[in-house]
Amino acid sequence: MAQELGTLAQQTADRLAERHVGVVVAAVAHDAVEIRGAGSTGADPGGVPGPDTLFEIGSVTKLFTALALARLASAGTVALDEPLGGLLPEGTAVPSRDGRQISLQHLATHTSGLPRLPRGMLLQALLRPWKPDPYAGCTADSLLSGLARTPLGATPGKRFRYSNLGAGLLGLALARRAGTDYETLITREICDPLGMSDTVVTAEAARAGRSARGHGRRGRPAAPWHLADLVGAGGLRSTATDLVAFVRAQWEGGPPGLAEAIRLSRAVEHRRSPFAWVHLGWMAHRLHPRQGAHLQIWHNGGTGGFSSFVGFDPEKRLAVIVLGNTGRPVDRPAFDLLRTLQAEHAARQD
């Protein structure tokens, strides 16, 4: 099985490297894990990226933010239905609609009604398209002052509306309640229990030599993104090795406290259609019966110079992780690989 997994992972990496500067692909089947790389890290010195190469993971960060919510909720530090305003500085004005306040669960399931971006950010991007890091000015002060003037597009809890602003506010609020910063919260509640030593906000000198350099869609070097106080929406860096540990915990559970949080994160469910829904952080859908009716739980991510994908099937204990150092989506080959693993698993069961 390991040899077959390795071949499939390498084929996917080679396919992606045709349009990406560098990529790492991890394929997981039960206890077997194979990680393969292709292309270049783009750094100096270069080389093929591998299991311990650091990448910006963009919106895959939201999975950590949502799991931190579940962790604190399981411990009684917060409640899922607790209003966001209760975790923000006194006097912060939080929008509501139809008499309903935004809860922490609404933020983690993208049902808060908040827009995708902080107020004024789209205009800034249009006026200053050369700005290398569009989120750099998202300080707590600017986010919270803009929040008061942000109308909701839907009643909280009613409709899925993907929101980087909502996820970032959730990370900010949880860190405030925990009395620490976002990175320390994620390290303490998730990374340390799972032995994930390379999932960080800032890669200091000790990790700099293992960090891939980001590239835009056309392959030109891109500046790193630093999301300031919106970090919970997409500011983490990680490796394939760490993300394998993260995704395996989704079916193995991990340490007792974390296992309870993982169960809670997937017990929450907001339906988007008969075949698609969202958990705390995770997107999910079940394929059509003609495609095998397989369950796929996933999230993708992207920054100015990186792209990422994490997807798994908890019923069959299969997973795919893809990290690239080019701002070009990796979703299609990643989903193709996950479907291949699922199909081959089903064929072996027949």
3-state secondary structure 126-168: HHCCCCCCCCCCCCHHHHHHHHCCCCCCCCCCCCCCCCHHHHH
39-73 confidence digits (pLDDT tens)? 999 987 789 999 999 999 999 999 999 999 999 99
SS3 content of the chain, % helix, strand, coil (to 5): 40, 20, 40
For residue 120, name the pLDDT band (cuts at 50, 70, 90): confident
CA–CA gap between residue 171 and residue 66 (Å, rounded): 8
Give yes or no for a contact between 5 and 27, defined as CB atoms under 8 angstroms apart: yes
Q: What is the pLDDT of residue 126?
A: 41
Cis peptide before 193 (omega within 30 of 0): no
For tokens 């075949």, name the residue.
Answer: 275
Mean of the pLDDT values across residues 242-249?
98
pLDDT at residue 223 above 50?
A: yes
Phi/psi of residue 13, each to 5°? -65, -45
What is the arithmetic mean of pLDDT over 77-97? Answer: 97
Parallel, antiparallel or unpaired: strands 270-273 and 237-238: unpaired
- Indicate the helix (H) or strand (E) that contains 252: helix 240-252
Exposed/middle/buried for residue 92 (C-beta within 10 Å: 0-12, 13-18, 19+): middle
Assess contact for 304 and 133: CB atoms under 8 A: yes
Q: Which of 120-129, 151-160, 175-184, 218-227 has the lowest mean pLDDT?
A: 120-129
Does pLDDT of 122 surpass 60?
Answer: no
| Exposure string for 5-27, b = 16+ CB within 10 A, e = fewer | bbebbbbbbebbbebbbbbbbbb
For the domain made up of 2-349, the CATH class stated in words is alpha beta
The encoded tokens of residue 323 equal 């990290």
pLDDT for 208 equals 77
Residue with tokens 């084929």: 11
Mean pLDDT in residue range 339-350: 89
How far apart (Å, rounded) are the C-alpha atoms in residues 33 and 35? 7
pLDDT digits (tens, 9 = 90+) for 16-41: 999 999 999 999 999 999 999 999 99
Q: How far apart are CA 13 and CA 18, in angstroms?
A: 9
Euclidean distance between CA atoms 70 and 88, whole angstroms: 18
Residue 127 exposed, middle or buried by CB count within 10 Å (0-12, 13-18, 19+): exposed
How confident is the model over 93-99, as a mean pLDDT? 97
The whole-number pLDDT of residue 158 equals 97
Over 90: is that where the pLDDT of 182 sits?
A: yes
Highest mean pLDDT among 27-36, 119-128, 195-204: 27-36
* Average pLDDT over every residue of 222-247: 96
> Please, which pLDDT band fits residue 271 given cuts at 50, 70 and 90?
very high
- List the one residue out of 135, 163, 148, 158 whose CA is nearest residue 85: 148
Pick from 150, 56, 70: which is nearest to 108 by CA? 70
Average pLDDT estimate for 163-172: 98
| Residue type (1 letter), 215 | H
Q: Residue 109 and residue 281: Cα distance in Å, rounded? A: 6
Q: Residue 306 pLDDT more than 80?
A: yes
